[in-house]
């Protein structure tokens, strides 16, 4: 019996996955969450065999979740289930420790194949992601990621792009507001960007956040 955790911030999709997996033999759901930091805590507490992970969740994105758990949980198999196939994001997820990536547009049959393959020790990529990876091999520059940013700078970049204030970021990370401001200044200097709107646009382009939907 494979012990499984679901990390998905869209409640309807998370509940759908829960219902599907209750009918799947060989899996036991031991936890679910839609928050990035809670996902880290949950995985470390439950040490699941398999994690179904959305690439973009609030607070910490999927890449940061993997970076904080994969070394401490080497036995945990990770299937990314995401609506986003940004080449930078896919590359970073794989480098951080993901074993498979299935796009949400691929359908439930594809999802089940991906889950079973990853859970049993293999690697699996949905058709759109497989096509993207072939393009990356042909054009490596398309997957260039902001490797010159530190983990803390990436974390603050995501929170800034999610419209958190300096005070809120400081409280979330347990650091001072002055430290947050210093990191933001370093981000702007490194990226040659000079306002929050530009940082937000950059965070979207490299796959840290989802685009904002305005009505």
Q: List, in order of start, the domains of the chain with CATH numbers.
A: 2-141 (3.40.50.2300), 151-205 (1.10.10.10)
Question: pLDDT at position 148, please?
Answer: 66
- Whether residue 118 is predicted with pLDDT greater than 60 in this model: the reply is yes
Tens digit of each residue's pLDDT (9 = 90 or more) over 8-57: 999 999 999 999 888 888 999 999 999 999 999 999 999 999 999 998 88
Beta strands in the chain (DSSP E): 2-7, 27-33, 50-53, 77-82, 100-103, 124-125
CB 210 within 8 A of CB 84: yes
CB 90 within 8 A of CB 144: no
Task: Provide the whole-model pTM.
Answer: 0.69
Question: pLDDT at position 15, please?
Answer: 93
Cβ-proximal residues to 159 (8 Å cutoff; 6+ apart), any chain: 59, 168, 169, 172, 173
* Cα distances (Å, whole numbers) of residue 188 to 6, 138, 181: 34, 31, 11
Question: pLDDT at position 214, please?
Answer: 38
Question: pLDDT at position 11, please?
Answer: 92
Which of 39-43, 58-62, 86-90, 169-173 has the least mean pLDDT?
86-90
- Choose the most confident range, by mean pLDDT, from 58-62, 75-79, 150-154: 75-79
CB 49 within 8 A of CB 119: yes
What is the share, in percent, of the chain residues with pLDDT greater than 70?
88
Tens digit of each residue's pLDDT (9 = 90 or more) over 138-161: 454 444 445 567 778 888 888 888
Q: Cα 207 to the chain's mean position, in Å?
A: 9
Question: pLDDT at position 172, please?
Answer: 85
Supply 33's token pair.
């969450």
CA distance 172 to 170: 6
Question: pLDDT at position 66, please?
Answer: 93
CB 114 within 8 A of CB 100: yes
Q: What does the mean pLDDT of the chain come to?
A: 84
């Amino acid at each position: 019996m494979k012990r499984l955790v679901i990390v998905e911030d869209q409640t309807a999709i998370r509940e759908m996955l829960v219902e599907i997996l209750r009918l799947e033999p060989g899996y036991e759901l031991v936890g679910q969450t839609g928050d990035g930091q809670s996902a880290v805590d949950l995985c470390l507490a439950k040490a699941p065999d398999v994690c179904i992970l959305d690439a973009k969740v609030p607070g910490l994105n999927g890449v940061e979740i993997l970076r904080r758990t994969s070394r401490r949980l080497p036995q945990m198999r990770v299937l990314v289930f995401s609506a986003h196939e940004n080449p930078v994001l896919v590359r970073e997820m794989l480098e951080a420790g993901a074993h498979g990536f299935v796009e949400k547009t691929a359908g439930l049959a594809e999802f089940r194949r991906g889950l079973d393959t990853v859970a049993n020790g293999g690697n699996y990529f949905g058709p759109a992601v497989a096509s993207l990876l072939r393009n990356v091999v042909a054009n490596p520059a398309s997957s260039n990621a902001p490797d010159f940013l530190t983990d803390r700078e990436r974390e603050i970049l995501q929170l800034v792009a999610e419209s958190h204030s300096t005070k809120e970021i400081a409280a979330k990370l347990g650091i001072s507001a002055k430290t947050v401001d210093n990191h933001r200044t370093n981000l702007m200097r490194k990226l040659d960007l000079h306002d929050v709107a530009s940082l937000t646009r950059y965070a979207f382009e490299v796959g840290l956040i989802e685009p904002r939907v305005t009505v």
